[in-house]
Structure 1
Amino acid sequence: MGKHYLFILLSVFTLLINCKGDESMSTPDDNPSTVVQTGKIEGKVMANNGTKPIGGAIIFTIDSNNKVYHTYSDANGNFSLATPEGNTTLHIQTGGGQNFRTEIPITVKKNETITIPATESKLTQVAKMAYVKGSYDEIEDIITALGYTATEITYQDLKNLTKIAQYDIIFLNCGSRGTAQTGTTSPSSDALVYTNLSTFVANGGSLYSSDWASAYLVGGDTNTTTCNAPGGFINDNLLCLKNTGSSGMYTGCTVSNTALAAAIGFNTLDINYDLGSWEKIQAYDPTFWEVLVEKNNEPLMIRTGHYTNTTAPQIPVGTSANNNFMTICHQITSGSSITITINTGSWASHQAHGDTQGPCSGGNSNSGKIYYTTFHNHATGNIGKAEPILEYVILNL
């Protein structure tokens, strides 16, 4: 009887060990010593058009202790995320989540894989976007092709701060300017345009300008012909451009930003400058601008989140869709961090965890981003590999 009883105990002990060995285990970003039971979520991030996959999106869940489990979509939009079992929300965001984000309620079961239908994993536009029509550039065509919307505003609308403050993003196309019939015909003679754009960015609005639209940033007439051109709201010591570019193919360009390269799936490309007199960047401040695309150390695409204007009035910028959300820098293991947008109701717990307000990229947390490209979506439409780069710009402003 004693031997039989011992055999039963050994059998039960062995069974318990084997069951424990089959459990799925994962660690949250915040606490590598915590063991939790997980399932897996898989899917493909898509643009709103339902056909364009989106690379570089962050996909994450937050548990009851405000610990974040995250991954990124690859260049084909695919993702796979191990996350704790139970009821949760799957978040999909680009650009920190301020302008594009999707939330999907989901129940995760231990050791099971859930596949999210592509119809549910579309990236939703929450920003209000506007563009000024140009003569040589049509960024609005790419926006529309992705399934998103942007409102056309005029050069004269840029003089109305109340008008532009309702938008989160403004696209300034190459060749956009006023007309003789409406008064001012060029940015350089209109200080009000520069003042309003400065206030817009300083309060969190984001700008994209291309090629000749550099005049909105650093000054010039319809375009920038010399360094220290009159006008502008970006100091001349931060950026210098001249319209000395000639038409032709720029071969062997490099995508120098690793996140951008991973999102689009390539790190080299040829850029067709089929219009002459395009703006070449002569000098820039590397502590202010980040270079994303270049050729032999010549910047072709730059961005910044460091703009400040201490004299600008503090005004609300952006849409009501963002009122209950805030962008934070979430701390994860090994001293690294990620930028995400959360509901403001959970901020206190994130703050207690050590997170900070604003993006992780540094600079002024109240400032929006400024992207500038020497190339653009010109009227001929033959832009090749520059198109996915411009798609990335749209989704990450």
Structure 2
Amino acid sequence: MKQNYLLIMLCSLLLLANCKGDDSVTPEENPIKVVSTGKVEGKVFAKNGTKPIGGAIVFTTDSQSNIYHTYSNADGSFSLTAPEGKTTLHIQTGDGKNFRTELPVTIKKNETVTVAATDSKLDQIAKMAYIKGSYDEIEAIITSLGYTATEITYQDLKNINTISQYDIIFLNCGSRTYAQTGTSMPSNDANVYSNLSTFVSNGGSLYSSDWASAYLVGGNTNTENCNAPGGFINDNLLCLKDIGTATNYIGCSVSNPALATALGFNTLDIQYDMGAWEKIQNYDPAFWDVLVQKGNEPLMIRTGHYTNPSAPQTPVGTSLNNNHITICHHTASGNNITITINQNAWNAHQAHGDTMGPCTGNSSSGNIYYTTFHNHASGNIGKAGPILEYVILNL
């Protein structure tokens, strides 16, 4: 009888020990350890303080460099469960190299801490530039978000020392016209294409829209045919023709799940208010990710796979990233995430099995985004506006 009584008491104690409620969590990298936690919540905003940012990764680490992360909703809101104690909250978009914010927080056991909106605004780390276009003004969207970009010229693209100081370059539709370039044959300017190739190969990112496809695959003011002369992306990877007509594309789909979640919608109508816009004829799906499409027709694509082994190694980007590195954080669940961290924390992350460089794409190259649409002169671009905002913050 006494043995039975002791057994019952032992079982009761075990049950109590395992009923900890919301104040405990099991780190994904260390499934044996259980730690006391609290919550931190808030909203991620652009620098203007009014535009909510969806799809931003919000994370913190404990003393053993275990990562606890979540993503902001389409309305910018987030709620993160993390270990109690003083820590640093990281907010990043893209891989965190170009836009990120860090702020100290104290997580309290079983309590929720709210981050002030003034502290959760996404900072611009990148140095950005744009080339003025004739029909497109991505710089207007950049400014509306509270960020800054420097105007450069087509001629500046001929000097790698000039463009290498930037992290991101925006190539507006219509920026290759004679009025912008000062030359009638930009397709023959191999120096520009070589410099853009070097820029991306060394970590710089590009955004190109509509007629600015000629920077990528060749052409004069735009790309009239496949295999056009010039460009730095091989013709077998992408083919475009300027055969689009003025029309409305009804029921386009946001085919990338992460983009759809960040935006809060997965369908939209796109107004093409000018003719001769660039239609994607074919592309290499191993090289490009399709983000927006109409049926089987890609309308917005992205790659992080560009590489040019013969490109010279040239430092690219702002000095603010000199003490930060981009890594792929490996979780036990296989849900790997790309983040940018202080390089002093690398040894601890490496001990977890994390690897240098992003989780996808080429480890040393930047991203290239291409959209067949852009912000129109009337400014009435509907749901395409949030998509272009996403592009800016995720380059």
| Interval containing the TM-score (normalised by the shorter chain) | over 0.9
Question: Which residue of 1 is the match for residue 258 of structure 2?
Answer: 259
Question: Which residue of 2 is the match for residue 28 of structure 1?
Answer: 27
Would the alpha carbon gap of residues 394 and 164 (structure 1) be closer, same or farther in structure 2, given more than 3 Å must change? same
Would the alpha carbon gap of residues 22 and 236 (structure 1) be closer, same or farther in structure 2, given more than 3 Å must change? closer
Question: Which residue of 1 is the match for residue 55 of structure 2?
Answer: 56
- Tell me, yes or no, if structure 1 residue 282 matches structure 2 residue 281: yes
Choose 136-145 or 181-190, whichever is displaced more.
181-190
Question: Which residue of 2 is the match for residue 66 of structure 1?
Answer: 65
Question: Which residue of 2 is the match for residue 168 of structure 1?
Answer: 167
TM-score of the aligned structures, taking structure 1 as reference length: 0.94
Q: Is the 8 A contact 2:176 2:222 kept in 1?
A: no
Choose 35-44 or 22-31, whichever is displaced more.
22-31
| Runs (5+) with no aligned partner, structure 1 | 1-9
Q: Is the 8 A contact 1:131 1:171 kept in 2?
A: yes
User: Following superposition, which runs of at least 4 residues in structure 1 exceed 6 angstroms of deviation?
Assistant: none
Question: Which residue of 2 is the match for residue 376 of structure 1?
Answer: 374
Tell me the SS of whatever aligns to 2:308: coil
Counterparts of 1:266 and 1:180, CA distance in 2: 39
Question: Which residue of 1 is the match for residue 301 of structure 2?
Answer: 302
Per the TM alignment, residue 34 of structure 1 is displaced from its structure 2 partner at its CA by 1.8
Question: Which residue of 1 is the match for residue 228 of structure 2?
Answer: 229
Question: Which residue of 2 is the match for residue 85 of structure 1?
Answer: 84
Would the alpha carbon gap of residues 111 and 174 (structure 1) be closer, same or farther in structure 2, given more than 3 Å must change? same
Question: Which residue of 2 is the match for residue 390 of structure 1?
Answer: 388
Counterparts of 2:28 and 2:180, CA distance in 1: 58
Counterparts of 1:267 and 1:23, CA distance in 2: 33
Counterparts of 2:159 and 2:29, CA distance in 1: 45
Would the alpha carbon gap of residues 134 and 105 (structure 1) be closer, same or farther in structure 2, given more than 3 Å must change? same
Question: Which residue of 1 is the match for residue 6 of structure 2?
Answer: none
- Tell me, yes or no, if structure 1 residue 120 matches structure 2 residue 124: no
Tell me the SS of whatever aligns to 2:351: helix
Counterparts of 2:229 and 2:118, CA distance in 1: 50
Question: Which residue of 2 is the match for residue 194 of structure 1?
Answer: 193
Per the TM alignment, residue 30 of structure 1 is displaced from its structure 2 partner at its CA by 1.4
What letter is aligned with 2:392? Answer: I
Per the TM alignment, residue 336 of structure 1 is displaced from its structure 2 partner at its CA by 2.3
Question: Which residue of 2 is the match for residue 208 of structure 1?
Answer: 207
**CA RMSD in angstroms, aligned pairs only:** 1.8
Aligned length: 385
Tell me the SS of whatever aligns to 1:95: coil
Would the alpha carbon gap of residues 181 and 287 (structure 1) be closer, same or farther in structure 2, given more than 3 Å must change? closer
Counterparts of 2:346 and 2:211, CA distance in 1: 42
- Tell me, yes or no, if structure 1 residue 346 matches structure 2 residue 345: yes
Q: Is the 8 A contact 1:187 1:216 kept in 2?
A: no
What letter is aligned with 1:135? Answer: S
Counterparts of 2:251 and 2:374, CA distance in 1: 17
Counterparts of 2:334 and 2:380, CA distance in 1: 43
Q: Is the 8 A contact 2:154 2:180 kept in 1?
A: no
Question: Which residue of 1 is the match for residue 150 of structure 2?
Answer: 151
Counterparts of 1:68 and 1:215, CA distance in 2: 42
TM-score of the aligned structures, taking structure 2 as reference length: 0.94
What letter is aligned with 1:268? Answer: T
Would the alpha carbon gap of residues 177 and 34 (structure 1) be closer, same or farther in structure 2, given more than 3 Å must change? same
Counterparts of 1:132 and 1:183, CA distance in 2: 13
Question: Which residue of 2 is the match for residue 4 of structure 1?
Answer: none
Deviations 1:73-127 (A, max 9, x none): 0000000000001110000000010000000111111111000011110000000
Per the TM alignment, residue 281 of structure 1 is displaced from its structure 2 partner at its CA by 0.2
Listed as ranges, the matches of 1:92-111 within 5 Å are 92-111=91-110
Per the TM alignment, residue 380 of structure 1 is displaced from its structure 2 partner at its CA by 1.8
- Tell me, yes or no, if structure 1 residue 39 matches structure 2 residue 25: no
Tell me the SS of whatever aligns to 1:333: coil
Counterparts of 1:337 and 1:21, CA distance in 2: 28
Q: Is the 8 A contact 1:177 1:186 kept in 2?
A: no
Would the alpha carbon gap of residues 60 and 286 (structure 1) be closer, same or farther in structure 2, given more than 3 Å must change? same
Counterparts of 1:380 and 1:84, CA distance in 2: 49
Counterparts of 1:90 and 1:305, CA distance in 2: 27
